[in-house]
Structure 1
Protein backbone atom coordinates (compact mmCIF):
# COMPACT_ATOMS: atom_id res chain seq x y z
CA UNK A 1 0.00 0.00 0.00
CA UNK A 2 1.28 3.45 -0.90
CA UNK A 3 2.32 5.60 2.05
CA UNK A 4 1.94 9.37 2.35
CA UNK A 5 2.71 12.00 4.98
CA UNK A 6 0.52 15.13 4.94
CA UNK A 7 1.88 18.34 6.43
CA UNK A 8 -0.28 21.15 7.84
CA UNK A 9 -0.59 22.95 4.51
CA UNK A 10 -1.82 19.77 2.82
CA UNK A 11 -4.41 19.11 5.55
CA UNK A 12 -5.64 22.68 5.25
CA UNK A 13 -5.89 22.25 1.49
CA UNK A 14 -8.27 19.29 1.62
CA UNK A 15 -11.84 18.68 2.69
CA UNK A 16 -12.81 16.10 5.28
CA UNK A 17 -14.45 14.01 2.53
CA UNK A 18 -11.26 14.07 0.44
CA UNK A 19 -9.15 12.92 3.39
CA UNK A 20 -11.64 10.14 4.15
CA UNK A 21 -11.39 8.89 0.56
CA UNK A 22 -7.60 9.05 0.67
CA UNK A 23 -7.46 7.07 3.93
CA UNK A 24 -9.42 4.26 2.26
CA UNK A 25 -7.02 4.05 -0.68
CA UNK A 26 -3.57 4.42 0.89
CA UNK A 27 -1.73 4.69 4.19
CA UNK A 28 -2.13 8.37 5.05
CA UNK A 29 -0.10 9.58 8.00
CA UNK A 30 0.63 12.78 9.86
CA UNK A 31 3.58 13.86 11.99
CA UNK A 32 2.84 14.90 15.60
CA UNK A 33 4.41 18.28 14.82
CA UNK A 34 1.71 18.92 12.23
CA UNK A 35 -0.97 18.11 14.80
CA UNK A 36 0.69 20.59 17.17
CA UNK A 37 0.66 23.22 14.40
CA UNK A 38 -3.13 22.93 14.29
CA UNK A 39 -3.67 22.32 18.02
CA UNK A 40 -1.79 25.49 18.99
CA UNK A 41 -4.63 27.57 17.49
CA UNK A 42 -7.48 25.71 19.25
CA UNK A 43 -8.21 28.59 21.65
CA UNK A 44 -7.63 31.41 19.15
CA UNK A 45 -10.30 33.35 17.23
CA UNK A 46 -10.83 32.72 13.53
CA UNK A 47 -10.83 35.78 11.30
CA UNK A 48 -14.36 36.36 10.03
CA UNK A 49 -16.02 34.14 12.64
CA UNK A 50 -19.08 35.71 14.28
CA UNK A 51 -18.47 34.36 17.76
CA UNK A 52 -16.10 32.47 20.03
CA UNK A 53 -18.26 29.38 19.61
CA UNK A 54 -18.04 29.58 15.83
CA UNK A 55 -14.26 29.99 16.03
CA UNK A 56 -13.95 26.90 18.21
CA UNK A 57 -16.20 24.89 15.91
CA UNK A 58 -14.00 25.74 12.93
CA UNK A 59 -10.78 25.01 14.86
CA UNK A 60 -12.26 21.76 16.19
CA UNK A 61 -13.39 20.53 12.76
CA UNK A 62 -10.01 21.41 11.31
CA UNK A 63 -8.11 19.53 14.03
CA UNK A 64 -10.42 16.52 13.84
CA UNK A 65 -9.39 15.99 10.21
CA UNK A 66 -6.24 14.52 11.71
CA UNK A 67 -8.41 11.79 13.23
CA UNK A 68 -8.63 10.29 9.75
CA UNK A 69 -4.85 10.00 9.57
CA UNK A 70 -2.39 7.65 11.26
CA UNK A 71 -0.24 9.43 13.82
CA UNK A 72 3.45 8.78 13.27
CA UNK A 73 6.18 8.73 15.86
CA UNK A 74 7.91 12.02 16.62
CA UNK A 75 10.21 12.61 13.60
CA UNK A 76 13.38 12.57 15.69
CA UNK A 77 12.33 9.30 17.35
CA UNK A 78 11.42 7.76 14.01
CA UNK A 79 14.81 8.74 12.63
CA UNK A 80 16.53 7.34 15.72
CA UNK A 81 14.74 4.03 15.14
CA UNK A 82 15.83 3.96 11.49
CA UNK A 83 19.51 4.27 12.40
CA UNK A 84 19.20 2.06 15.47
CA UNK A 85 19.77 4.62 18.22
CA UNK A 86 16.23 4.87 19.60
CA UNK A 87 17.57 4.15 23.10
CA UNK A 88 19.21 7.59 22.96
CA UNK A 89 15.91 9.38 22.28
CA UNK A 90 14.16 11.12 25.17
CA UNK A 91 11.23 9.00 26.48
CA UNK A 92 8.78 11.90 25.97
CA UNK A 93 9.22 11.57 22.20
CA UNK A 94 7.40 8.22 22.25
CA UNK A 95 4.19 9.59 23.82
CA UNK A 96 2.62 11.52 20.95
CA UNK A 97 1.69 8.52 18.85
CA UNK A 98 -0.56 7.09 21.58
CA UNK A 99 -1.63 10.23 23.44
CA UNK A 100 -2.88 12.25 20.46
CA UNK A 101 -5.55 9.69 19.39
CA UNK A 102 -6.89 9.66 22.97
CA UNK A 103 -7.64 13.35 22.51
CA UNK A 104 -10.06 12.89 19.60
CA UNK A 105 -13.20 11.64 21.45
CA UNK A 106 -12.72 14.35 24.08
CA UNK A 107 -12.41 17.04 21.43
CA UNK A 108 -15.39 15.71 19.50
CA UNK A 109 -17.67 16.06 22.55
CA UNK A 110 -16.30 19.44 23.66
CA UNK A 111 -18.62 22.43 23.27
CA UNK A 112 -15.93 25.10 23.65
CA UNK A 113 -12.18 25.53 23.98
CA UNK A 114 -12.63 26.00 27.73
CA UNK A 115 -14.65 22.79 27.93
CA UNK A 116 -12.01 20.88 25.96
CA UNK A 117 -9.16 22.17 28.10
CA UNK A 118 -11.01 21.34 31.32
CA UNK A 119 -10.86 17.63 30.49
CA UNK A 120 -8.29 14.95 31.23
CA UNK A 121 -7.11 11.78 29.52
CA UNK A 122 -5.18 8.74 30.68
CA UNK A 123 -1.89 7.70 29.13
CA UNK A 124 -0.71 4.14 28.51
CA UNK A 125 0.42 3.89 32.14
CA UNK A 126 -3.08 4.94 33.26
CA UNK A 127 -1.71 8.24 34.55
CA UNK A 128 -4.18 11.10 34.29
CA UNK A 129 -3.04 13.94 32.01
CA UNK A 130 -4.67 17.36 32.04
CA UNK A 131 -5.59 19.15 28.81
CA UNK A 132 -5.51 22.44 30.67
CA UNK A 133 -3.86 25.19 28.61
CA UNK A 134 -3.05 22.63 25.88
CA UNK A 135 -3.08 25.30 23.17
CA UNK A 136 -0.41 27.33 24.93
CA UNK A 137 1.63 24.20 25.66
CA UNK A 138 1.55 23.31 21.96
CA UNK A 139 2.74 26.82 21.13
CA UNK A 140 5.62 26.43 23.58
CA UNK A 141 6.68 23.12 22.03
CA UNK A 142 6.62 24.66 18.57
CA UNK A 143 8.45 27.80 19.71
CA UNK A 144 11.28 25.69 21.13
CA UNK A 145 11.49 23.63 17.92
CA UNK A 146 11.49 26.82 15.83
CA UNK A 147 14.31 28.22 17.94
CA UNK A 148 16.35 25.06 17.32
CA UNK A 149 15.63 25.27 13.58
CA UNK A 150 16.78 28.89 13.42
CA UNK A 151 19.96 27.91 15.27
CA UNK A 152 20.61 25.11 12.75
CA UNK A 153 20.18 27.48 9.80
CA UNK A 154 22.52 30.02 11.36
CA UNK A 155 25.06 27.24 11.89
CA UNK A 156 24.86 26.35 8.18
CA UNK A 157 25.33 30.04 7.26
CA UNK A 158 28.46 30.32 9.40
CA UNK A 159 29.92 27.03 8.15
CA UNK A 160 29.39 27.91 4.49
CA UNK A 161 30.83 31.42 4.79
CA UNK A 162 33.81 30.21 6.79
CA UNK A 163 35.24 28.59 3.66
CA UNK A 164 33.29 30.08 0.74
CA UNK A 165 32.52 33.54 -0.55
CA UNK A 166 28.93 34.76 -0.37
CA UNK A 167 28.38 34.00 -4.06
CA UNK A 168 29.96 30.55 -3.80
CA UNK A 169 27.85 29.70 -0.75
CA UNK A 170 24.57 30.77 -2.32
CA UNK A 171 25.37 28.92 -5.55
CA UNK A 172 26.73 25.74 -3.96
CA UNK A 173 25.26 22.94 -6.05
CA UNK A 174 25.66 19.49 -7.53
CA UNK A 175 28.44 17.34 -6.13
CA UNK A 176 29.72 20.07 -3.80
CA UNK A 177 26.24 20.50 -2.30
CA UNK A 178 25.86 16.75 -1.77
CA UNK A 179 29.33 16.48 -0.22
CA UNK A 180 28.57 19.27 2.24
CA UNK A 181 25.21 17.71 3.20
CA UNK A 182 26.88 14.31 3.57
CA UNK A 183 29.59 15.77 5.80
CA UNK A 184 26.88 17.16 8.11
CA UNK A 185 25.35 13.69 8.36
CA UNK A 186 28.71 12.07 9.05
CA UNK A 187 29.37 14.54 11.87
CA UNK A 188 26.12 13.42 13.50
CA UNK A 189 26.96 9.74 13.11
CA UNK A 190 30.32 10.35 14.82
CA UNK A 191 28.46 12.00 17.69
CA UNK A 192 26.23 8.94 18.06
CA UNK A 193 29.26 6.66 17.87
CA UNK A 194 30.88 8.53 20.74
CA UNK A 195 27.76 7.67 22.75
CA UNK A 196 28.34 4.01 21.97
CA UNK A 197 25.80 3.63 19.16
CA UNK A 198 26.59 1.37 16.21
CA UNK A 199 25.51 3.62 13.37
CA UNK A 200 27.31 3.90 10.04
CA UNK A 201 28.00 7.08 8.10
CA UNK A 202 26.05 5.64 5.15
CA UNK A 203 22.95 5.09 7.30
CA UNK A 204 23.11 8.66 8.53
CA UNK A 205 23.56 10.12 5.05
CA UNK A 206 20.63 8.13 3.61
CA UNK A 207 18.34 8.98 6.52
CA UNK A 208 19.09 12.73 6.64
CA UNK A 209 19.66 13.65 3.00
CA UNK A 210 16.32 15.48 2.75
CA UNK A 211 16.46 16.91 6.29
CA UNK A 212 19.98 18.33 5.92
CA UNK A 213 19.49 19.14 2.25
CA UNK A 214 16.45 21.23 3.12
CA UNK A 215 18.42 23.08 5.83
CA UNK A 216 21.15 23.98 3.37
CA UNK A 217 18.77 24.90 0.54
CA UNK A 218 16.71 27.14 2.80
CA UNK A 219 19.85 28.72 4.30
CA UNK A 220 20.97 29.54 0.74
CA UNK A 221 17.56 31.05 0.03
CA UNK A 222 17.58 33.17 3.21
CA UNK A 223 21.12 34.35 2.41
CA UNK A 224 20.16 35.26 -1.15
CA UNK A 225 17.13 37.25 0.00
CA UNK A 226 19.08 38.98 2.79
CA UNK A 227 21.99 40.00 0.57
CA UNK A 228 25.74 39.71 1.12
CA UNK A 229 26.08 42.32 3.88
CA UNK A 230 23.41 40.81 6.16
CA UNK A 231 24.38 37.21 5.30
CA UNK A 232 28.02 37.72 6.22
CA UNK A 233 27.21 39.46 9.49
CA UNK A 234 24.01 37.63 10.49
CA UNK A 235 21.53 36.85 11.79
CA UNK A 236 19.37 35.97 8.81
CA UNK A 237 15.66 36.68 8.67
CA UNK A 238 14.39 33.11 8.98
CA UNK A 239 10.79 31.96 8.57
CA UNK A 240 10.05 29.88 11.70
CA UNK A 241 7.17 28.17 9.89
CA UNK A 242 9.76 26.27 7.86
CA UNK A 243 10.59 24.26 10.98
CA UNK A 244 7.62 21.91 10.53
CA UNK A 245 8.56 20.61 7.10
CA UNK A 246 12.25 20.51 7.95
CA UNK A 247 11.46 18.23 10.91
CA UNK A 248 8.99 16.16 8.89
CA UNK A 249 11.74 15.42 6.39
CA UNK A 250 13.36 13.23 9.04
CA UNK A 251 10.52 10.82 8.23
CA UNK A 252 11.99 10.47 4.72
CA UNK A 253 14.75 7.92 4.43
CA UNK A 254 16.43 7.84 1.03
CA UNK A 255 15.75 4.10 0.67
CA UNK A 256 12.10 4.05 1.86
CA UNK A 257 9.21 4.82 -0.55
CA UNK A 258 7.28 7.43 1.42
CA UNK A 259 5.71 10.54 -0.13
CA UNK A 260 5.41 13.91 1.60
CA UNK A 261 2.40 15.94 0.48
CA UNK A 262 2.66 19.70 0.93
CA UNK A 263 1.33 22.96 -0.48
CA UNK A 264 4.36 24.85 0.84
CA UNK A 265 6.21 26.21 -2.21
CA UNK A 266 9.42 26.66 -0.21
CA UNK A 267 9.43 22.98 0.72
CA UNK A 268 8.62 21.85 -2.82
CA UNK A 269 11.41 24.06 -4.17
CA UNK A 270 14.00 23.01 -1.56
CA UNK A 271 13.31 19.29 -2.02
CA UNK A 272 13.39 19.65 -5.80
CA UNK A 273 16.83 21.25 -5.45
CA UNK A 274 18.05 18.39 -3.27
CA UNK A 275 16.95 15.89 -5.92
CA UNK A 276 18.56 17.88 -8.73
CA UNK A 277 21.84 18.13 -6.80
CA UNK A 278 21.75 14.37 -6.15
CA UNK A 279 21.18 13.64 -9.84
CA UNK A 280 23.95 16.03 -10.84
CA UNK A 281 26.37 14.40 -8.39
CA UNK A 282 25.35 10.97 -9.63
CA UNK A 283 26.13 11.91 -13.22
CA UNK A 284 29.44 13.52 -12.30
CA UNK A 285 30.58 10.49 -10.31
CA UNK A 286 28.99 8.08 -12.78
CA UNK A 287 27.35 6.30 -9.87
CA UNK A 288 23.61 5.53 -10.07
CA UNK A 289 21.49 6.93 -7.25
CA UNK A 290 18.03 5.64 -6.42
CA UNK A 291 15.88 7.96 -4.31
CA UNK A 292 12.73 6.25 -3.03
CA UNK A 293 10.87 9.14 -1.28
CA UNK A 294 8.95 11.84 -3.12
CA UNK A 295 7.62 15.31 -2.30
CA UNK A 296 4.44 16.31 -4.15
CA UNK A 297 1.64 18.87 -3.98
CA UNK A 298 -2.01 18.25 -3.09
CA UNK A 299 -3.22 18.22 -6.70
CA UNK A 300 -0.76 15.45 -7.60
CA UNK A 301 -1.76 13.55 -4.46
CA UNK A 302 -5.46 13.74 -5.35
CA UNK A 303 -4.79 12.72 -8.95
CA UNK A 304 -2.78 9.69 -7.83
CA UNK A 305 -5.57 8.49 -5.57
CA UNK A 306 -8.39 9.41 -7.93
CA UNK A 307 -9.95 11.96 -5.59
CA UNK A 308 -12.25 14.44 -7.29
CA UNK A 309 -11.41 17.98 -6.22
CA UNK A 310 -14.13 19.78 -4.28
CA UNK A 311 -14.54 23.28 -2.90
CA UNK A 312 -12.31 23.71 0.13
CA UNK A 313 -13.87 24.28 3.55
CA UNK A 314 -13.48 27.65 5.25
CA UNK A 315 -9.89 27.77 6.47
CA UNK A 316 -9.35 27.72 10.22
Structure 2
Protein backbone atom coordinates (compact mmCIF):
# COMPACT_ATOMS: atom_id res chain seq x y z
CA UNK A 1 0.00 0.00 0.00
CA UNK A 2 1.21 3.47 -0.91
CA UNK A 3 0.08 6.87 0.32
CA UNK A 4 -1.15 8.84 -2.71
CA UNK A 5 -2.35 12.43 -2.76
CA UNK A 6 -4.52 13.58 -5.68
CA UNK A 7 -4.98 17.32 -6.20
CA UNK A 8 -8.34 17.81 -7.89
CA UNK A 9 -9.68 14.38 -8.67
CA UNK A 10 -13.38 15.23 -8.45
CA UNK A 11 -14.47 14.68 -12.07
CA UNK A 12 -13.93 12.65 -15.23
CA UNK A 13 -10.68 10.67 -15.39
CA UNK A 14 -9.49 12.26 -12.12
CA UNK A 15 -12.45 10.82 -10.23
CA UNK A 16 -11.88 7.45 -11.88
CA UNK A 17 -8.19 7.59 -10.92
CA UNK A 18 -9.13 8.10 -7.27
CA UNK A 19 -11.50 5.13 -7.37
CA UNK A 20 -8.91 2.88 -9.00
CA UNK A 21 -6.19 3.89 -6.57
CA UNK A 22 -8.52 3.05 -3.70
CA UNK A 23 -9.54 -0.26 -5.29
CA UNK A 24 -5.86 -1.15 -5.67
CA UNK A 25 -5.48 -0.85 -1.90
CA UNK A 26 -3.68 2.49 -1.67
CA UNK A 27 -4.37 5.10 0.99
CA UNK A 28 -5.74 8.04 -1.01
CA UNK A 29 -5.99 11.68 0.03
CA UNK A 30 -7.86 14.13 -2.21
CA UNK A 31 -7.19 17.87 -1.98
CA UNK A 32 -9.72 20.21 -3.57
CA UNK A 33 -11.97 23.15 -2.74
CA UNK A 34 -14.76 20.93 -1.49
CA UNK A 35 -17.19 21.21 -4.39
CA UNK A 36 -17.64 17.43 -4.43
CA UNK A 37 -16.74 14.85 -1.79
CA UNK A 38 -14.49 11.94 -2.82
CA UNK A 39 -15.65 8.29 -2.80
CA UNK A 40 -16.01 6.45 0.53
CA UNK A 41 -12.73 5.47 2.13
CA UNK A 42 -10.83 8.42 0.66
CA UNK A 43 -9.44 11.14 2.91
CA UNK A 44 -10.64 14.60 1.90
CA UNK A 45 -8.71 17.81 2.58
CA UNK A 46 -10.54 21.02 1.67
CA UNK A 47 -8.16 23.74 0.51
CA UNK A 48 -7.65 26.11 -2.40
CA UNK A 49 -4.40 25.07 -4.08
CA UNK A 50 -3.77 28.71 -4.99
CA UNK A 51 -3.68 29.65 -1.29
CA UNK A 52 -0.30 28.42 -0.08
CA UNK A 53 -1.03 29.09 3.59
CA UNK A 54 -4.34 27.21 3.48
CA UNK A 55 -2.83 24.33 1.50
CA UNK A 56 0.10 23.94 3.88
CA UNK A 57 -2.22 24.06 6.89
CA UNK A 58 -4.53 21.42 5.38
CA UNK A 59 -1.62 19.08 4.68
CA UNK A 60 -0.42 19.46 8.27
CA UNK A 61 2.22 16.77 8.95
CA UNK A 62 1.11 14.37 6.19
CA UNK A 63 3.63 12.77 3.86
CA UNK A 64 3.03 10.80 0.68
CA UNK A 65 4.71 8.32 -1.60
CA UNK A 66 3.36 10.19 -4.61
CA UNK A 67 1.23 13.18 -5.57
CA UNK A 68 -0.87 13.31 -8.74
CA UNK A 69 -1.68 16.91 -9.68
CA UNK A 70 -4.74 17.02 -11.93
CA UNK A 71 -5.32 20.77 -11.93
CA UNK A 72 -2.01 22.59 -12.35
CA UNK A 73 -2.33 25.17 -15.11
CA UNK A 74 0.23 27.89 -14.38
CA UNK A 75 3.79 28.40 -13.14
CA UNK A 76 2.37 30.23 -10.12
CA UNK A 77 0.31 27.21 -9.09
CA UNK A 78 3.32 24.98 -9.72
CA UNK A 79 5.54 27.11 -7.49
CA UNK A 80 2.98 26.97 -4.66
CA UNK A 81 2.82 23.17 -4.99
CA UNK A 82 6.61 22.84 -5.15
CA UNK A 83 6.98 24.66 -1.84
CA UNK A 84 4.00 23.00 -0.15
CA UNK A 85 5.03 19.43 -1.04
CA UNK A 86 8.79 19.76 -0.67
CA UNK A 87 9.81 17.18 1.91
CA UNK A 88 6.31 15.64 1.89
CA UNK A 89 6.56 13.37 -1.16
CA UNK A 90 9.21 11.43 -3.02
CA UNK A 91 7.33 11.59 -6.35
CA UNK A 92 5.13 14.17 -8.09
CA UNK A 93 3.13 13.47 -11.26
CA UNK A 94 1.47 16.32 -13.16
CA UNK A 95 -1.30 15.80 -15.69
CA UNK A 96 -0.36 17.77 -18.77
CA UNK A 97 -1.57 17.90 -22.37
CA UNK A 98 -0.79 17.43 -26.05
CA UNK A 99 -1.40 21.17 -26.34
CA UNK A 100 2.16 21.83 -25.15
CA UNK A 101 3.19 20.80 -28.69
CA UNK A 102 0.89 23.30 -30.42
CA UNK A 103 3.22 25.23 -32.75
CA UNK A 104 0.81 28.16 -32.90
CA UNK A 105 1.52 28.90 -29.21
CA UNK A 106 5.32 28.64 -29.10
CA UNK A 107 8.42 28.40 -31.24
CA UNK A 108 9.19 24.68 -31.33
CA UNK A 109 11.77 22.57 -33.19
CA UNK A 110 10.70 21.67 -36.71
CA UNK A 111 10.07 18.00 -37.43
CA UNK A 112 9.58 16.30 -40.80
CA UNK A 113 5.90 16.46 -41.84
CA UNK A 114 3.90 13.61 -40.37
CA UNK A 115 6.40 12.81 -37.61
CA UNK A 116 4.77 11.91 -34.24
CA UNK A 117 6.12 14.40 -31.72
CA UNK A 118 8.53 12.97 -29.11
CA UNK A 119 8.74 14.29 -25.55
CA UNK A 120 12.06 16.09 -26.05
CA UNK A 121 10.36 18.57 -28.40
CA UNK A 122 9.39 20.51 -25.26
CA UNK A 123 12.04 20.20 -22.54
CA UNK A 124 10.81 21.53 -19.16
CA UNK A 125 14.37 21.67 -17.85
CA UNK A 126 15.18 24.60 -20.13
CA UNK A 127 11.76 26.11 -20.85
CA UNK A 128 11.61 29.80 -19.82
CA UNK A 129 9.31 30.74 -16.94
CA UNK A 130 7.45 34.04 -16.61
CA UNK A 131 5.75 33.95 -13.22
CA UNK A 132 5.20 37.73 -13.40
CA UNK A 133 2.51 37.42 -16.09
CA UNK A 134 -1.17 37.76 -15.00
CA UNK A 135 -1.77 34.04 -14.57
CA UNK A 136 -4.59 34.64 -12.08
CA UNK A 137 -6.59 36.49 -14.74
CA UNK A 138 -8.87 34.12 -16.73
CA UNK A 139 -8.67 36.53 -19.66
CA UNK A 140 -4.92 35.80 -19.81
CA UNK A 141 -5.02 32.15 -18.82
CA UNK A 142 -7.55 30.90 -21.36
CA UNK A 143 -5.64 31.90 -24.53
CA UNK A 144 -2.34 30.88 -22.87
CA UNK A 145 -3.43 27.44 -21.68
CA UNK A 146 -0.61 25.59 -23.49
CA UNK A 147 2.05 28.01 -22.30
CA UNK A 148 0.75 27.81 -18.75
CA UNK A 149 1.17 24.04 -18.85
CA UNK A 150 4.68 24.29 -20.32
CA UNK A 151 5.77 26.72 -17.63
CA UNK A 152 4.12 24.69 -14.85
CA UNK A 153 6.10 21.64 -15.99
CA UNK A 154 9.27 23.75 -15.99
CA UNK A 155 8.76 24.98 -12.42
CA UNK A 156 8.07 21.52 -11.00
CA UNK A 157 11.04 20.07 -12.89
CA UNK A 158 13.45 22.55 -11.32
CA UNK A 159 12.03 23.52 -7.92
CA UNK A 160 10.21 20.59 -6.36
CA UNK A 161 12.85 18.69 -4.44
CA UNK A 162 11.14 15.45 -5.53
CA UNK A 163 11.19 13.12 -8.54
CA UNK A 164 8.95 14.79 -11.10
CA UNK A 165 7.07 13.32 -14.05
CA UNK A 166 4.59 14.98 -16.40
CA UNK A 167 2.03 12.95 -18.35
CA UNK A 168 1.08 14.70 -21.59
CA UNK A 169 -2.34 13.41 -22.48
CA UNK A 170 -3.80 13.14 -25.96
CA UNK A 171 -7.37 14.35 -26.57
CA UNK A 172 -9.53 12.51 -24.04
CA UNK A 173 -12.81 10.85 -25.09
CA UNK A 174 -15.33 8.47 -23.56
CA UNK A 175 -17.61 8.45 -20.57
CA UNK A 176 -20.75 9.86 -22.14
CA UNK A 177 -22.12 12.63 -19.94
CA UNK A 178 -18.93 12.55 -17.84
CA UNK A 179 -16.98 13.96 -20.78
CA UNK A 180 -17.24 17.58 -19.71
CA UNK A 181 -15.54 19.10 -22.78
CA UNK A 182 -18.53 18.28 -24.98
CA UNK A 183 -16.33 17.79 -28.03
CA UNK A 184 -17.46 14.31 -28.94
CA UNK A 185 -21.04 15.32 -28.17
CA UNK A 186 -20.61 18.18 -30.66
CA UNK A 187 -19.96 15.71 -33.47
CA UNK A 188 -22.62 13.23 -32.40
CA UNK A 189 -25.24 15.97 -32.27
CA UNK A 190 -24.30 17.56 -35.59
CA UNK A 191 -24.14 14.30 -37.53
CA UNK A 192 -27.27 12.85 -35.88
CA UNK A 193 -29.27 15.95 -36.82
CA UNK A 194 -27.78 16.46 -40.25
CA UNK A 195 -25.98 19.65 -39.35
CA UNK A 196 -22.76 20.46 -41.22
CA UNK A 197 -19.46 20.02 -39.37
CA UNK A 198 -17.04 22.87 -40.04
CA UNK A 199 -13.59 21.55 -40.98
CA UNK A 200 -10.31 22.72 -42.47
CA UNK A 201 -9.84 22.33 -46.23
CA UNK A 202 -7.55 19.34 -45.63
CA UNK A 203 -8.02 18.10 -42.05
CA UNK A 204 -5.00 16.25 -40.70
CA UNK A 205 -4.87 13.51 -38.06
CA UNK A 206 -4.29 13.57 -34.32
CA UNK A 207 -4.19 11.11 -31.43
CA UNK A 208 -6.72 10.29 -28.73
CA UNK A 209 -6.99 8.37 -25.46
CA UNK A 210 -9.94 6.86 -23.63
CA UNK A 211 -10.57 8.40 -20.22
CA UNK A 212 -10.24 5.02 -18.51
CA UNK A 213 -6.89 4.41 -20.18
CA UNK A 214 -5.63 7.82 -19.08
CA UNK A 215 -6.62 6.99 -15.50
CA UNK A 216 -4.61 3.77 -15.87
CA UNK A 217 -1.56 5.66 -17.20
CA UNK A 218 -1.69 8.05 -14.25
CA UNK A 219 -2.10 5.21 -11.73
CA UNK A 220 0.88 3.41 -13.30
CA UNK A 221 2.94 6.62 -13.37
CA UNK A 222 2.31 7.27 -9.69
CA UNK A 223 2.64 3.78 -8.24
CA UNK A 224 4.33 1.29 -10.57
CA UNK A 225 7.25 3.08 -12.19
CA UNK A 226 9.96 5.58 -11.32
CA UNK A 227 10.47 7.37 -14.61
CA UNK A 228 10.99 11.13 -14.53
CA UNK A 229 10.47 13.83 -17.13
CA UNK A 230 7.79 13.99 -19.79
CA UNK A 231 5.71 11.06 -21.01
CA UNK A 232 3.27 11.11 -23.94
CA UNK A 233 0.03 9.20 -23.35
CA UNK A 234 -2.05 8.28 -26.39
CA UNK A 235 -3.78 5.22 -27.76
CA UNK A 236 -2.38 3.68 -30.92
CA UNK A 237 -3.72 4.85 -34.27
CA UNK A 238 -4.26 8.19 -35.99
CA UNK A 239 -7.72 9.64 -36.61
CA UNK A 240 -8.76 12.79 -38.43
CA UNK A 241 -12.11 14.52 -38.20
CA UNK A 242 -13.55 12.55 -41.14
CA UNK A 243 -12.47 9.25 -39.59
CA UNK A 244 -14.30 10.29 -36.43
CA UNK A 245 -17.35 11.24 -38.46
CA UNK A 246 -17.37 7.84 -40.16
CA UNK A 247 -17.49 6.03 -36.79
CA UNK A 248 -20.43 8.17 -35.71
CA UNK A 249 -22.19 7.76 -39.06
CA UNK A 250 -22.01 3.98 -38.73
CA UNK A 251 -24.06 4.19 -35.52
CA UNK A 252 -26.57 6.93 -36.38
CA UNK A 253 -27.23 5.79 -39.93
CA UNK A 254 -26.66 9.20 -41.48
CA UNK A 255 -23.77 10.38 -43.60
CA UNK A 256 -21.85 13.35 -42.17
CA UNK A 257 -22.12 16.74 -43.82
CA UNK A 258 -18.94 18.81 -43.88
CA UNK A 259 -18.43 22.48 -44.65
CA UNK A 260 -15.02 24.05 -45.19
CA UNK A 261 -14.27 26.84 -42.73
CA UNK A 262 -14.25 30.32 -44.22
CA UNK A 263 -11.07 32.41 -43.78
CA UNK A 264 -10.81 33.34 -40.10
CA UNK A 265 -13.66 31.03 -39.10
CA UNK A 266 -12.80 28.47 -36.39
CA UNK A 267 -13.14 24.85 -37.39
CA UNK A 268 -14.80 22.24 -35.21
CA UNK A 269 -12.75 20.63 -32.43
CA UNK A 270 -10.44 17.85 -33.65
CA UNK A 271 -10.19 19.38 -37.11
CA UNK A 272 -6.52 20.31 -37.46
CA UNK A 273 -4.61 22.03 -40.25
CA UNK A 274 -1.40 20.33 -39.11
CA UNK A 275 -0.36 16.77 -38.34
CA UNK A 276 -0.95 16.70 -34.58
CA UNK A 277 0.24 13.34 -33.30
CA UNK A 278 2.45 12.35 -30.37
CA UNK A 279 4.80 9.40 -30.15
CA UNK A 280 4.00 7.01 -27.28
CA UNK A 281 7.23 5.04 -27.79
CA UNK A 282 8.75 6.10 -24.48
CA UNK A 283 5.81 4.86 -22.44
CA UNK A 284 5.91 1.54 -24.29
CA UNK A 285 9.63 1.16 -23.62
CA UNK A 286 8.92 1.75 -19.93
CA UNK A 287 6.32 -1.01 -19.95
CA UNK A 288 2.88 0.54 -20.55
CA UNK A 289 0.70 -1.14 -23.20
CA UNK A 290 -1.77 1.10 -25.01
CA UNK A 291 -5.07 0.17 -26.60
CA UNK A 292 -6.06 1.02 -30.18
CA UNK A 293 -8.34 4.02 -30.70
CA UNK A 294 -10.24 2.10 -33.39
CA UNK A 295 -11.20 -0.53 -30.78
CA UNK A 296 -12.69 1.77 -28.15
CA UNK A 297 -14.00 4.72 -30.18
CA UNK A 298 -17.27 3.05 -31.26
CA UNK A 299 -18.11 2.43 -27.60
CA UNK A 300 -17.33 6.04 -26.72
CA UNK A 301 -19.66 7.19 -29.50
CA UNK A 302 -22.41 4.88 -28.21
CA UNK A 303 -22.01 6.39 -24.72
CA UNK A 304 -22.26 9.89 -26.17
CA UNK A 305 -25.41 8.95 -28.07
CA UNK A 306 -26.98 7.60 -24.85
CA UNK A 307 -25.99 10.59 -22.71
CA UNK A 308 -28.95 12.60 -21.34
CA UNK A 309 -27.67 15.87 -22.82
CA UNK A 310 -28.43 14.55 -26.29
Normalised to the residue count of structure 1, the TM-score between the two structures is: 0.27
The structure where strand makes up a greater share of residues is 2
Report which structure shows greater RCO (CA 8 Å, sep ≥6): 1
Larger Rg: 1
TM-score, normalised to structure 2's length? 0.28
